[in-house]
Amino acid sequence: MQAYAAKLIDLIELKSGNIAKQWATDVMKHARTPSYSSLPLDRVIERGVEFYMLFRQMSLADNSYEAAKNFSSKYAKNCYREKIPLQEAVYALILLRRNLWLYAEFQGVFVSALEMHQAVESLNRTILMYDYVSYQVIEKYQELIHDAVDKKLGSITMMMNNPVVNIKSIYKSGLMGILLLVSCILTYYYHATLGTGVIFTHLFYIPIILASIWWGKKGIFVAVFLAVLILTSHALFLKAVPFLDDLIRSAMFVLTGGIVGWLMDGIKKIEDLYKTTIKI
């Protein structure tokens, strides 16, 4: 380790607490890191000390990138758990670097003890460390977000990827046609033959929900078709029975199909974004 680099590291380790306190005061009041204002001061200072103590570890390590991973992973996990947005977590790292150099400049270390090219070398070393940590923090933060999305959407994704549900388009259309035909037969049988509007219409939610899962918002057309079906059938065969019950059922068909379709379209967009960020 060259003498000027060792001098910089010695300064950082000796004064890590002071520099961390200066950083904590800055980051907890800064307009771009408002989430830090609610954290305990001691916790923020401790995080700063851990960052500054990382310099010697990276300088002595054969692979400085790997040496930074423990800190980066812990930093990202803490920020994620504390609900600190990624942009604030990264900007806090920028302030860590800035406060280090402000402190060194205030102390006059580089003016009195180092030549200009030595100061540049020290600056390059801290920039490299910052670059490694920033990249790893973003990488870990994305991993944590992906894990959270997987857990929250796991059951729905499993259902969507289930071979029974995720069948080819032609089979989906064929199966939906059969379900709608059965619905028409049931409607005619109960309305025209039995003269009743009992709870057979609950079975209509099967094609309504499947259509919404398969085709998103477009699946609402199935709900509309079934709503029109029972209202038309009621008008033809149940003239003596009040319309209110079937009107409510029809409204619920359309409402259910619309909500499920809207949710499935939203999930699809999240999955597309999720897959894009994984590739990146």
Give the model confidence (pLDDT) of 31-55 as tens digits: 999 999 999 999 999 999 998 888 7
Predicted TM-score (pTM) of this structure: 0.56
Q: Helix (H, G, I), strand (E, B), or coil: what is residue 153?
A: helix
Return the pLDDT at 99.
84
For the cut 50, the answer to whether the pLDDT of residue 212 exceeds it is: yes
Number of alpha carbons in the 13 Å side-chain half-sphere of residue 279: 6
**Contact assessment for residue 204 and residue 253, using Cβ atoms and an 8 Å cutoff:** yes
Cα 218 to the chain's mean position, in Å?
A: 26
Residue 116 confidence class, pLDDT cut points 50, 70, 90: very low
CA distances for 115 relative to 112, 119, 125, angstroms: 8, 6, 16
Concatenated DSSP letters for 37-106? GGS-HHHHHHHHHHHHTHHHHHHHSS-HHHHTHHHHHHHHHHHHHTT--HHHHHHHHHHHHHHHHHHHHH
pLDDT tens-place string over residues 118-175: 554 555 566 666 777 888 888 888 788 777 766 766 655 555 555 444 556 778 888 8
Work out the angle at residue 42's Cα, subtended by the Cα atoms of residues 82 and 45, and round it to the nearest 5 degrees. 85
Helix axes 69-81, 86-107, angle to 10 degrees: 120
The predicted-structure confidence for 43-99, as pLDDT tens digits, reads as follows 999 999 998 888 778 777 788 888 888 889 999 999 989 989 988 999 998 888 888
Give the pLDDT score at 162: 53
Asked if residues 96 and 51 have their Cβ atoms less than 8 Å apart, the reply is yes
Query: Which pLDDT value is given to residue 6?
Result: 65
The sign of the torsion formed by the CA atoms of 228, 231, 236, 237 equals positive
On average, the pLDDT of the chain sits at 80
Residue with tokens 């009195």: 112
Q: What's the pLDDT score for residue 159?
A: 52
pLDDT at 92: 92
pLDDT above 90 covers a percentage of the chain that reads 31
Segments in the chain forming alpha helices (H): 3-14, 16-27, 41-52, 54-60, 64-67, 69-81, 86-107, 109-113, 116-161, 169-188, 205-215, 220-237, 244-279
